[in-house]
Amino acid sequence: MKAVREILYKVNINKVIGDTGALIGNVVSDSREVIEKDLYIAINGVNVDGHKFINSAIKKGAICIVCEVLPNKLQEGILYVVVESTRESIGIISSNYFSNPSSKLKLIGITGTNGKTTIATLLYNLYKTAGLKAGLISTVINYIDGKEIGSTQTTPDSLTINKLLYQMVEEGIQYCFMEVSSHGIEQRRISGLEFAGGIFSNLTHDHLDYHNSFDQYRDIKKDFFDNLPNTAFSLVNKDDKNGKYMVQNTKSKIFTYGLKTYADYKIKILESSLEGMLLKINESEFWSNLSGKFNAYNLLAIFSTATILGMPFSETLQLMSMLKNVKGRFEYLRLNNITAIVDYAHTPDALKNIINSINEIKTNKESLITIIGCGGDRDKSKRPVMGDIASSLSSKVIFTSDNPRNESPETIIQDMVSGVKPLNSVKTISIANRKEAIKTACQLAKSNDIILIAGKGHETFQEINNKKHLFDDYKVVKECLTKMN
């Protein structure tokens, strides 16, 4: 139990009605989860306005209501706290409620369009392998020193984040690596957190259905670095033209990394194959199990971060050589002389990067068969662009269903096909059923050919008409290739 006045520190308050000395049991933003003695925060969400459920929360036992607008009828014995923004306040309140756990460990945030999951996960793996107590908050999974906790969002809500960080502090975690999405920044889910550092990977076309314009998307990412304190560091990809912009107004100490331009940290690719890369940092060479130029950037971000945080050079390289691919990120298998690669690439830039990486590795004797779809109820403008990229850079393309959600898979596929240049149309096939598309690719593949299944990566489901159906690209392609024996 905590007094309300203790957890309102730094909250922008407009009005208080009642006794802030009241003791509350928990902080809740979903009225359905309220129990006796809880504090309920009415969030004006994207789809639902929590203010509509204030009375319901009180009936269930809430004794304190944090809101932007008071209800028409106030109930006796209830503490009402009117704030400027409940979205902003929930982060600060939940941080205060859990005794500001982010200040008790080194919290590193990773943002950008592509690479967030790989960088965050591999940093976590690096530190765990080094024998340090580490935590991870990511799209795929959350970990507290090896203990797995399920994940459903890139950036969880403020209460979940602070509860996770509190549990990490209780377990003696020293470092936490966390994906920070544009949605999470814009919806103030990271409000109240104290970051020790921030990493910017890159910025390309994504989420424009939500952010309306690229400039708005870029500026929301920049807001993360604007709010880093002078005790933190910013590490940005200097090869990305947006890297410099990200740190224009930051108070943090700035570091840069890159493959092409002069930067604080640089890496060189000496050899590359599907099995990995021989890389060089400073004058030292090491082998990585990861493939592709995009992964060279990810590895350099990891090396740079570890160095900034004080890990010795030789130890970092040794540990990096032990890192494995993250699930659904350039995850490959080879059966019956055919290589299949499963990757989460679902943006034009990510798709282009992975196909280019494969083309740089393979010889002219092998064909690349790409299976690609686009998500429904999301940014439609990228569909023809991805159709063009896939058909221009692959030997053959099968357009299929991704997560159609409430849209027709055929309509989504047609949007992608509309971007295919006439000279490339002969290389394309459309098969809406994703399993059939993968099966067809396996049948078309000849010895030593490569099949790329892009878009869903680690996901183990397909979302169709508001229902999730079990579907795992890796398992499906493995089954298909095995049956060919």
The third-level CATH classification (topology) of the domain covering 101-320 is UDP-N-acetylmuramoyl-L-alanine:D-glutamate ligase (3.40.1190)
Domain ranges of the chain: 2-95, 101-320, 331-483
Task: Sort strands 338-343 and 141-144 into parallel, antiparallel or unpaired.
Answer: unpaired
pLDDT at 206: 52
When the pLDDT of each residue in the chain is averaged and rounded to a whole number, the result is 94
pLDDT at 217: 85
pLDDT at 184: 86
The third-level CATH classification (topology) of the domain covering 331-483 is Protein-Tyrosine Phosphatase; Chain A (3.90.190)
The third-level CATH classification (topology) of the domain covering 2-95 is 3.40.1390
Q: What is the 3-state secondary structure (H, E, C) of the chain?
A: CEEHHHHCCCCCEEEEECCCCCEECCEECCHHHCCCCCEEECCECCCCEHHHHHHHHHHCCCCEEEECCCCCCCCCCCEEEEECCHHHHHHHHHHHHCCCHHHHCEEEEEECCCCHHHHHHHHHHHHHHCCCCEEEECCCEEEECCEEEECCCCCCCHHHHHHHHHHHHHCCCCEEEEECCHHHHHCCCCCCCCCCEEEECCCCCCCHHHHCCHHHHHHHHHHHHHCCCCCCEEEEECCCCCHHHHCCCCCCEEEEEECCCCCCEECEEEEEECCEEEEEECCEEEEECCCCHHHHHHHHHHHHHHHHCCCCHHHHHHHHCCCCCCCCCCEEEEECCEEEEEECCCCHHHHHHHHHHHHHHCCCCCCEEEEECCCCCCCCCHHHHHHHHHHHHCCEEEECCCCCECCCHHHHHHHHHCCCCHHHHHHEEECCCHHHHHHHHHHHCCCCCEEEEECCCCCCEEEECCEEEECCHHHHHHHHHHHCC
pLDDT at 157: 87
Lateral strand order in the sheet of 79-83: 13-17, 79-83, 64-67, 39-41, 27-28
Q: Which two tokens stand for residue 415?
A: 């949007």
At 321-331, the pLDDT tens digits run 999 999 999 99
What pTM was computed for the model? 0.89
How many angstroms separate the CA atoms of 224 and 59, rounded?
Answer: 38
Our CA angle for 121, 122, 127, nearest 5°, is 105
Q: Cα dist. 312→240, 305, 315 in Å?
A: 27, 12, 5
Q: What is the pLDDT along the chain (485 residues), one digit of tens a residue?
A: 899 999 999 999 999 999 999 999 999 999 999 999 999 999 987 778 999 999 999 999 999 999 999 999 999 999 999 999 999 999 999 999 999 999 999 999 999 989 999 999 999 999 999 999 999 998 788 999 999 987 655 567 899 999 999 999 999 999 999 999 888 888 888 999 999 999 999 998 654 444 467 788 899 999 999 999 999 999 999 999 999 999 999 999 999 999 999 999 999 999 999 999 999 998 999 999 999 999 999 999 999 999 999 999 999 999 999 999 999 999 999 999 999 999 999 999 899 999 999 999 998 889 999 999 999 998 899 999 999 999 999 999 999 999 999 999 999 999 999 999 999 999 999 999 999 999 999 999 999 999 999 999 999 999 999 899 999 999 999 999 998 86
Question: Which amino acid belongs to residue 31?
Answer: S
If phi over 0 gives left and psi between -120 and 50 gives alpha, with beta otherwise, what is residue 207? left
